[in-house]
């Protein structure tokens, strides 16, 4: 895979192990350093507290029946860009996240990497 | 003064003489009263009486000569004597006046009379004259005849005369008589006849039934319409009692009303049923008036009868139609309503209104301010409701939705309303109507359904992602396509078995560990190695549905490896699976599973060292299930322990993964 995300520190929040592993390996192969992955909101918030330089995050929307929006809000507060991975349609999202990119499951690792890179570029301009 | 025998007493009493009245009859052709025969007295008396009105006031004649004179003048009675043999007549001045003759006119009777008498009466009068002069008869003449005067005036005269017979054989010698003008009476009679005829015509032609009955109720007069209404002939009805054509239901009320009438009660109107000749029923209103005699006694009745059968049927049909509509309205769980188009006032509201809106229908219908109900509508929906109703007033059928807040319990309900103009036969809109449905439940359900659909989509996409990941993983491990195919199909089987187990669950149910284990062992056809298997643990340990997939995959991998390289691959091997429940120090209940293989050649066992099963146990279960796991490769086989938190909730609706 192209090193699209060379040197980026990316937090992965995904409760399904096999998906978390897959995300992990595909992000690393795109050159990123993966923080996590973590499978719960509490773990994600705890990682956020301790992580210094976070470039981006990939958030699974549904974590063991809980919505990930608390984590999204914390990221927003810190100015960390993020994208959602989800099996839900658009209507499940609150209005305030209308502009957040979504990767609908199942997705190609390449597509996710591109989406992340686009989002990062867009944010830095 | 004596009483007048002439007028007061019709009987020719011998003592009573007309002369006593002082009227000088000797100056008349009849001569002095004392020479009058009894018959002549009564003839004259009758002539006076024939004038009619005079007899009603006999007192006028009693006192004096003057009065009698006046009476005779008023009666305009002329007297005459006819000397039969010489055919000579003597007429007094009043008689001459009656005939319109002058004294100088010739007094020859026959030609004068023939010329004067109306041609239609001539023959009759001549015959009567002949009869009177017949000696075998009583000699009396009584005729009402018309005379035509010289000036063309027609006058009715009542003539009374008496013929005297003399000699042998007896012969008529003299006829004495009197005549009075009875034109007035005749005219009255004619007018009366004409009037009666007119009334009869009106009655017979009337569009309403007319029936007259005597005091006993027998019909004495029936008109054509009445006969048609009942289907009888006039002949059949006459003499029949009204009760006989009255419907049994109406007999008592009718008799009761007629009884009151007979006792002097007022005329009345009654709505009643009659029976037609063909057995069908006639519904009618009868206006009944009493016929009473001079002293007020009841003699019978006249009824004017109007057929209202078709009106009654129409009313009944309308009533039934309204009743049906009302029953539909009452039975409907929707609100049916009608409002006046200009005032918006409620005309009809079905029962469902009270339960949906929480306001009694009567309260709303009685409210003069028909716009006040809008207060029940949520403020943000009021404009839309007003606009929609305005469009209905303009003639459109409009479907719209709005929310109300019930005044009684404050609950918000969704109403789905279909409103339409009610157009009268002339095409005008006088009312608007509508059907309002409480769709709160549907709104709620559709919201729930939306959640369910999203959940389903989420789960499906997750499974696809898991399958993708499995296929990648399997691809990494596989050396050949056949190898891939076998492993992948086996893993896909484990995934679909888990889905199968989950899909059979009712809400709130959980898969138990023994179920899961049994499913996986059966799927791997372990029946022929049953003797090498030792299972020990309590049934019914409930697992979290969200974590079932990973646990199932882990067990799948363990069983597969045991069959391929481990305890179940050699007759010397043994597999012991024991499980029990533990509560750890923090109070979390866990399922503790001990998987121990023995009797395995360690070289073979080594082959599974880096397998996917081990990864699932060592990494996936802790990651996903907060499980505590161990995985060891001992001298004679695999020993693995898994401690997973178990389901403690009885119900987790839509438990999401």
Q: What DSSP assignment string belongs to B161-178?
A: EEEEEETTTTEEEEEEEE
Q: Is A109 helix (H, G, I), strand (E, B) or coil?
A: helix
Of B620, B544, B526, B531, the closest CA to residue B573 belongs to B531
How far is B412 from B406, CA to CA, in rounded Å? 6
How far is B160 from B120, CA to CA, in rounded Å? 19
Output the DSSP codes for B446-468: HHHHHHHHHHHHHHHHHHHHHHH
Contact B579, B537 (CB under 8 A): yes
Whats the size of chain B, residue-wise?
657
Best mean pLDDT range from A75-79, B45-49, B506-510: A75-79
If contacts are CB pairs under 8 Å, which of residues 597-616 in chain B contact chain A? Answer: 616
Put simply, the answer to whether B466 touches A16 (Cβ < 8 Å) is yes
What is the nearest CA distance from A62 to chain B, expressed in angstroms? Answer: 7
Residue B55 has what pLDDT? 38
Maximum CA extent, chain A: 36
Residue written as token pair 């009270």: B354
Q: Would you say residue B654 has pLDDT above 50?
A: no
How far is B396 from B390, CA to CA, in rounded Å? 9
CB pairs under 8 A between A and B: 70
Q: What is the 3-state secondary structure (H, E, C) of B339-367?
A: EECCCCCEEEECCHHHHHHCCCHHHHHHC
Which chain B residues touch A65 with a CB distance below 8 Å? 546, 652, 655-657
Put simply, the answer to whether A19 touches B470 (Cβ < 8 Å) is no
Contacts of B233 (CB under 8 A, 6+ apart): B227
How far is A108 from A32, CA to CA, in rounded Å? 16
* Residue B315 φ then ψ, to 5°: -60, -40
Give, in degrees to the nearest 5, the angle at Cα B620 between B616 and B623.
Answer: 160
Contact A17, A26 (CB under 8 A): no
**Which comes out higher in pLDDT, residue A65 or B476?**
B476
**Which comes out higher in pLDDT, residue B201 or B642?**
B642
Residue A79 near chain B (CB below 8 Å): no
How far is A104 from A117, CA to CA, in rounded Å? 17
Residue A112 has what pLDDT? 81
Residue B619 near chain A (CB below 8 Å): yes
Put simply, the answer to whether A88 touches B469 (Cβ < 8 Å) is no
Sign of dihedral through CA atoms B64, B68, B69, B73?
positive
Burial class (CB in 10 A: 0-12, 13-18, 19+), B48: buried
Please give the mean pLDDT across all residues of chain B. 83
Stretch among B50-54, B122-126, B136-140, B528-532 having the lowest mean pLDDT: B50-54
What is the nearest CA distance from A13 to chain B, expressed in angstroms? Answer: 12
Put simply, the answer to whether A17 touches B619 (Cβ < 8 Å) is yes
How far is B602 from B607, CA to CA, in rounded Å? 9
Residue B326 has what pLDDT? 86
Mean pLDDT along residues B129-148? 90
pLDDT per residue as tens digits for the range B534-554: 999 999 888 887 778 888 989
What is the nearest CA distance from B566 to chain A, expressed in angstroms? Answer: 25
Which chain B residues touch A86 with a CB distance below 8 Å? 458, 461
| Residue B540 tokens, joined | 């019914």
Residue B47 has what pLDDT? 67
Whats the size of chain A, residue-wise?
125
Of B61, B15, B68, the closest CA to residue B38 belongs to B15
pLDDT per residue as tens digits for the range B390-415: 999 999 999 999 999 988 888 899 99
What are the Cα distances from residue B295, in Å, to B197, B213, B264, B275? 27, 19, 12, 35
The DSSP call for residue B572 is T
Stretch among A89-103, B483-497, B591-605 having the lowest mean pLDDT: A89-103
Residue B607 has what pLDDT? 58
Mean pLDDT along residues B455-465? 81
The DSSP call for residue B395 is T
How far is B468 from B459, CA to CA, in rounded Å? 14
Contact A74, A50 (CB under 8 A): no
Find, in chain A, the residue whose alpha carbon is nearest to that of B619.
A17
How far is B358 from B340, CA to CA, in rounded Å? 22
How far is B562 from B230, CA to CA, in rounded Å? 107
Query: Prior bond to A37 cis, omega within 30?
Result: yes
The DSSP call for residue B512 is B
**Which comes out higher in pLDDT, residue B617 or B30?**
B617
Residue B495 near chain A (CB below 8 Å): no
All residue ranges of chain A with pLDDT < 50 are: none
Put simply, the answer to whether A16 touches B657 (Cβ < 8 Å) is yes
Which chain A residues touch B465 with a CB distance below 8 Å? 16, 18-19, 22, 87, 105-107
Q: Would you say residue B298 has pLDDT above 90?
A: yes
Residue A106 near chain B (CB below 8 Å): yes
Residue A99 has what pLDDT? 79
Put simply, the answer to whether B461 touches A64 (Cβ < 8 Å) is no
Q: How confident is the model at residue B216 (pLDDT cuts 50, 70, 90)?
A: very high
Give, in degrees to the nearest 5, the angle at Cα A66 between A63 and A68.
Answer: 70
How far is B74 from B48, CA to CA, in rounded Å? 10
Contact B501, B511 (CB under 8 A): yes
Residue written as token pair 């179940």: B568
Q: Is B116 helix (H, G, I), strand (E, B) or coil?
A: helix
Contacts of B371 (CB under 8 A, 6+ apart): B344
Residue A49 has what pLDDT? 86
Which residue of A16, A42, A68, A85 to mutate against B (max B Cβ within 10 Å)? A16
How far is B521 from B528, CA to CA, in rounded Å? 11
Sign of dihedral through CA atoms B328, B329, B331, B335?
positive
> Rounded to an integer, what is the distance from CA B625 to the centroid of its chain?
73
Put simply, the answer to whether B461 touches A105 (Cβ < 8 Å) is yes
Put simply, the answer to whether A17 touches B620 (Cβ < 8 Å) is yes
Residue B600 has what pLDDT? 85
Q: How confident is the model at residue B23 (pLDDT cuts 50, 70, 90)?
A: low
Residue B546 near chain A (CB below 8 Å): yes
Burial class (CB in 10 A: 0-12, 13-18, 19+), A125: exposed
Beta bridge partners of B346: B339
Contact B229, B282 (CB under 8 A): yes
Q: Would you say residue B178 has pLDDT above 50?
A: yes
Nearest to A18 among B450, B454, B470 (CB): B470
Put simply, the answer to whether A87 touches B457 (Cβ < 8 Å) is yes
How far is B276 from B210, CA to CA, in rounded Å? 16
Which chain A residues touch B460 with a CB distance below 8 Å? 87
Put simply, the answer to whether A87 touches B470 (Cβ < 8 Å) is no
How far is B229 from B274, CA to CA, in rounded Å? 9
Sign of dihedral through CA atoms B433, B437, B438, B442?
negative
Contact B577, B594 (CB under 8 A): yes
Q: What is the 3-state secondary structure (H, E, C) of B190-243?
A: HHHHHHHHHHHHHHHHCCCEEEEEECCCEEEEECHHHHHHHCCCHHHHCCCEHH
Residue B460 near chain A (CB below 8 Å): yes
| Residue B317 tokens, joined | 């049909």
Of B163, B157, B53, the closest CA to residue B113 belongs to B157
| Residue A77 tokens, joined | 């507060």
Which chain A residues touch B623 with a CB distance below 8 Å? 17, 20, 37, 39
> Rounded to an integer, what is the distance from CA B278 to the centroid of its chain?
28
Put simply, the answer to whether A87 touches B466 (Cβ < 8 Å) is no
Give, in degrees to the nearest 5, the angle at Cα B320 between B314 and B324.
Answer: 145
Stretch among B75-79, B268-272, B322-326, B645-649 having the lowest mean pLDDT: B645-649
Nearest to B624 among A39, A65, A86 (CB): A39
For residue B126, the tally of other CB atoms under 10 A from its CB is 14
Q: Would you say residue B344 has pLDDT above 60?
A: yes
Q: Is B547 helix (H, G, I), strand (E, B) or coil?
A: helix
Q: Would you say residue B531 has pLDDT above 60?
A: yes
Residue A87 near chain B (CB below 8 Å): yes
Q: Quote the ipTM score.
A: 0.86
What is the nearest CA distance from A75 to chain B, expressed in angstroms? Answer: 23
| Residue B591 tokens, joined | 């399922």
**Which comes out higher in pLDDT, residue B206 or B404?**
B404
What is the nearest CA distance from B470 to chain A, expressed in angstroms? Answer: 8
**B609 membership: H or E segment, kind and range:** none
Residue B450 near chain A (CB below 8 Å): yes
């Amino acid at each position: 895979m192209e090193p699209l995300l060379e040197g980026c520190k990316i937090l992965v929040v995904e409760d399904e192990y096999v998906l978390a592993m897959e995300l992990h390996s595909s992000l690393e192969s795109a050159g990123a350093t993966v923080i996590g992955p973590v499978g719960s909101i509490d773990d994600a918030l705890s990682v956020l507290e301790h992580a210094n330089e976070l470039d981006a995050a990939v958030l699974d929307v549904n974590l063991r029946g809980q919505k990930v929006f608390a984590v999204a809000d914390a990221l927003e507060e810190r100015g960390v860009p993020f994208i959602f991975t989800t099996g839900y349609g658009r209507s499940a999202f609150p209005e305030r996240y209308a502009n957040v990119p979504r990767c609908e499951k199942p997705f190609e690792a390449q597509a996710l990497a591109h989406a992340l890179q686009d989002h990062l570029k867009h944010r830095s301009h | 003064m004596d009483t007048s025998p002439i007028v007061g007493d019709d009987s020719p009493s011998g003592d009573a003489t007309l002369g006593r009245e002082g009227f000088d009859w000797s100056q008349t052709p009849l001569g002095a009263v004392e020479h009058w025969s009894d018959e002549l007295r009564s003839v004259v008396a009758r002539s006076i009486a024939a004038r009619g009105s005079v007899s009603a006031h006999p007192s006028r004649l009693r006192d004096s000569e003057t009065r009698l004179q006046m009476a005779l003048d008023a009666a305009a009675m002329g007297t005459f004597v006819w000397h039969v043999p010489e055919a000579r007549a003597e007429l007094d001045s009043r008689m001459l006046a009656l005939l319109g003759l002058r004294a100088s006119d010739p007094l020859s009777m026959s030609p004068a009379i023939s010329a004067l008498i109306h041609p239609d009466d001539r023959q009759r009068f001549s015959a009567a004259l002949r009869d009177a002069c017949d000696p075998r008869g009583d000699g009396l003449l009584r005729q009402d005849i018309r005379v035509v005067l010289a000036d063309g005036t027609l006058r009715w005269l009542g003539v009374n005369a008496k013929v005297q017979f003399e000699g042998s054989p007896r012969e008529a010698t003299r006829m004495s008589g009197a005549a009075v003008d009875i034109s007035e009476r005749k005219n009255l009679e004619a007018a009366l006849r004409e009037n009666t005829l007119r009334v009869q015509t009106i009655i017979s032609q009337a569009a309403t039934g007319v029936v007259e009955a005597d005091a006993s109720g027998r019909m004495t007069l029936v008109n054509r319409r009445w006969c048609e209404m009942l289907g009888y002939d006039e002949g059949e009805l006459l003499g029949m009692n009204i009760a006989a054509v009255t419907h049994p239901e109406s007999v008592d009320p009718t008799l009761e009303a007629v009884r009151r009438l007979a006792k002097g009660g007022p005329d009345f109107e009654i709505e009643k049923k009659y029976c037609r000749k063909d057995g069908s029923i006639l519904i009618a209103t009868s206006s009944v008036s009493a016929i009473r005699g001079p002293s007020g006694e009841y003699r019978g009745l006249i009824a004017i009868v109007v057929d209202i059968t078709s009106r009654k049927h129409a009313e009944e049909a309308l009533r039934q139609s309204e009743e049906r509509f009302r029953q539909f309205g009452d039975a409907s769980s929707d609100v049916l309503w009608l409002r006046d188009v200009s005032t918006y006032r409620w005309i009809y509201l079905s029962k469902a209104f009270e339960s949906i809106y929480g306001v009694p229908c009567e309260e709303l219908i009685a409210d003069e301010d028909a716009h006040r109900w809008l207060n029940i509508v949520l403020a943000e929906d009021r404009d839309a409701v007003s606009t929609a109703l305005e469009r209905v007033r303009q003639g459109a059928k409009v479907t719209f939705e709005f929310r109300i807040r019930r005044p009684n319990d404050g609950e918000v309900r969704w109403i789905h309303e279909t409103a339409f103009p009610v157009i009268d036969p002339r095409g005008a809109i006088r009312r608007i109507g509508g059907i309002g449905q409480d769709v709160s439940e549907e709104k709620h359900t559709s919201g729930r359904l939306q959640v369910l659909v999203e959940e389903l989509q989420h789960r499906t996409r997750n499974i696809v992602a898991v399958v993708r990941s499995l296929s990648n993983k399997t691809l990494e491990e596989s050396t050949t396509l056949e190898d891939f195919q076998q492993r992948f199909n086996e893993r896909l089987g484990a995934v679909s078995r888990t889905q199968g187990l989950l899909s059979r669950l009712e809400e709130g149910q959980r898969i138990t560990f023994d179920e899961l284990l049994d499913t996986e062992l059966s799927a791997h056809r372990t029946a022929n190695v049953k003797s090498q298997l030792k299972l020990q643990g309590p049934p019914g340990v409930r697992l979290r549905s969200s974590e079932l997939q990973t646990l199932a995959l882990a067990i799948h991998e363990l069983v597969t490896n045991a069959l391929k390289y481990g305890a179940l691959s050699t007759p010397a091997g043994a597999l012991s699976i024991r499980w029990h429940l533990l509560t750890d120090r923090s109070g979390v209940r866990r399922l503790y599973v001990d998987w121990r293989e023995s009797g395995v050649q360690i070289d073979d066992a080594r082959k599974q060292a880096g397998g996917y099963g081990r990864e699932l146990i060592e990494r996936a279960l802790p990651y996903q299930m907060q499980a505590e796991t161990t995985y060891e490769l001992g001298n004679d086989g695999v020993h693995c322990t898994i401690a997973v938190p178990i389901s403690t909730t009885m119900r987790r609706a839509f438990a999401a993964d």
